[in-house]
């Protein structure tokens, strides 16, 4: 989990589309820039959630976000947005309790069920 730069609320790394990059590639880039992690990202979104992005001018833009799961292989101490956000390893259940977006809460709980079922409960794979 990371905090947003503006409000400090708990979120998952996400970003705007990047021309020439596929959504899962953008997800991997954002995970590194915002949380300092790299690994194998799933090409297919685990699911989608919506939220209102508040822009600098005060306007809100509705956004649909594809959530890509990432199997973390490396954690870096230095990354582009270090110092601009807080980050913390927590269970999917704890992550779901921290986020505001109801659809994201549901996806995090579904990810917990899926990963616990397929890989057991003792790995970093079941952390957000």
Q: Judge contact between 17 and 25, C-beta under 8 A.
A: no
Please state, rounded to an integer, the average pLDDT across all residues of the chain.
92
Report, at the CATH architecture level, how domain 2-89 is classified: Alpha-Beta Complex (3.90)
Using one digit for the tens of pLDDT, what is the confidence trace for 30-75?
Answer: 999 999 999 999 999 999 999 998 888 989 999 999 999 999 999 9
Q: Which pLDDT score, from 0 to 100, does residue 118 have?
A: 79
Residue 7 burial class via C-beta count within 10 angstroms: exposed 0-12, middle 13-18, buried 19 and up: exposed
pLDDT band at 120 (very low <50, low <70, confident <90, very high): low
Geometric angle at alpha carbon 48, from 42 and 50, rounded to 5°: 140
| Full DSSP string of the chain | -EE-TTT--EE-------TT--HHHHHHHHHHHHH-EEEEEPSS-SEEEEEEEEPTTS-EEEEEEEE--EEEEEE-S--TTBTTB-B---BHHHHHHH---HHHHHHHHHHHHHHHHHH-SSSGGGB-
Q: What is the domain partition of the chain in residue ranges?
A: 2-89
Q: Which pLDDT score, from 0 to 100, does residue 107 have?
A: 98
Mean pLDDT of 9-13: 96
Mean pLDDT of 67-84: 96
Q: What is the pTM of this model?
A: 0.86
């Amino acid at each position: 989990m990371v905090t947003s730069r503006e409000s400090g609320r708990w979120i998952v790394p996400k970003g705007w589309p990047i021309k020439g990059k596929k959504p899962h590639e953008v997800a991997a880039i954002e995970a590194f820039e915002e949380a300092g992690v790299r690994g194998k990202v799933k090409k297919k979104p685990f699911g989608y959630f919506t939220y209102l992005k508040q822009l600098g001018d005060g306007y809100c833009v509705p956004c649909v976000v594809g959530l890509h799961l990432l199997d973390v292989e490396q954690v870096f101490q230095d990354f582009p947005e270090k110092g601009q956000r807080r980050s913390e390893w927590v269970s999917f259940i704890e992550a779901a309790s921290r986020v505001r977006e109801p659809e994201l809460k549901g996806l995090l709980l579904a990810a917990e069920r899926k990963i616990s079922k397929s890989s057991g409960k003792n790995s970093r794979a079941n952390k957000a």
